[in-house]
């Protein structure tokens, strides 16, 4: 597997761990690579007691991209405790754009990331 594809897989892994940690038990993801970009779509339910963590997730995923942090720390994605939003800050620094669609009890995250 190529280096950049591993980074995209780590993003999906981190989202999976995060949503398990906030009570998610129905998740789906898809990924599409188009030339130099990858598009990730991740949908999950969550427990209503953790709704505040969705707001934190949205903030963290929309932080400015930091290529230096990505190059050094991307392998740490997915290593935090389930539901720990701080790992999402790392993901936010790895991606170009995140759009969050919230509904009652579920959320869809659409991510765009430039590859290499």
User: For the packed helices 3-21 and 86-94, what is the interaxial angle rounded to 10 degrees?
Assistant: 150
CA 77 to chain centre: 9
pLDDT value at residue 64: 81
Task: Output the CA torsion 15→95→69→67 (10° steps).
Answer: 160
Domain of residue 93 covers 3-114
Asked if residue 39 has pLDDT above 90, the reply is yes
CATH assignment at residue 68: 3.30.565
CA 77-82-84 angle, 5° bins:
75
**Higher-scoring residue by pLDDT: 48, 2:** 48
Count structural domains, the chain: 1
Kindly state the tokens that stand for 104.
Answer: 């009652």
pLDDT value at residue 76: 52
Within 13 A of 98's CA, how many CA atoms are on the CB side?
28
Give me the residue label for tokens 């991307």. Answer: 74
């Amino acid at each position: 597997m190529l280096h950049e594809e591993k980074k995209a897989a780590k993003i999906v892994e981190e989202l999976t761990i995060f949503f398990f940690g906030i009570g998610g038990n129905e998740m789906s993801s898809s990924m599409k690579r188009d030339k130099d970009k990858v598009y990730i779509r991740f949908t999950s339910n969550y427990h209503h007691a953790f709704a505040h963590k969705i707001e934190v997730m949205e903030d963290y995923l929309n932080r400015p991209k930091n290529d230096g942090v990505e190059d050094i720390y991307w392998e740490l994605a997915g290593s935090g405790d389930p539901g720990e939003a701080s790992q999402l800050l790392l993901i936010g620094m790895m991606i170009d754009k995140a759009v969050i669609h919230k509904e009652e009890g579920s959320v869809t995250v659409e991510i765009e990331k430039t590859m290499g």
